Amino acid sequence: MISEAQVQWAIDILLDRDCAGSKARAAHDYMQDMDKVVLAKLMHEAPSDLKTASARESWARMHPQYMTHLEEKKAIAEMDYKARDRRSAASAIIEAWRTEQSNARMAGKVG
C-alpha cells in the first residue's frame, strides 16, 4: 500500500518547485551544444604543423581542455538522468496510488 508520505514525496518531485529537473535538463542540453564549440576552438589552436582537419581534430579531442569538458558533461548528464529517474518514480507512485484508490472505491461499492 502506498503511504501518504510516499504520495507527498511524489507530488513534491513532480511539482519541482526549485526547478531542479528543468535546470539539469537545460544544463545537459547546453553541454551537448558546447561539444562542437570547444572542439572548434581547440582545432583552431592546434599546432600549425597539423595540416589536415582530421589531424587537428584528433589533437583537439586529446587535449586536456576537451577531456575536462567531457568530464563536466558527464557529471551534468548524471544529474539530468537522476532527475528524470526521480520523476519517473514519482509518476509510478502516483499511478499506483490512483489504482489503489480506484480499487478501494470499487470494493466499497461491491461489498
Tens digit of each residue's pLDDT (9 = 90 or more) over 59-78: 999 999 999 999 999 999 99
Is residue 87's pLDDT more than 90?
Answer: yes
Q: Among candidates 31, 27, 20, which has minimal Cα distance to 87? A: 20
Tens digit of each residue's pLDDT (9 = 90 or more) over 96-111: 999 999 999 998 876 5
Cell of 60: 583537439
Q: How many residues does the chain have?
A: 111
Provide the pLDDT for residue 110: 63
Amino acid present at 89: A
Share of the chain above pLDDT 90, in %: 87
Higher per-residue confidence, 109 vs 94: 94
Full-model pTM: 0.78
94, HSE (Cβ side, Cα atoms, 13 Å): 14
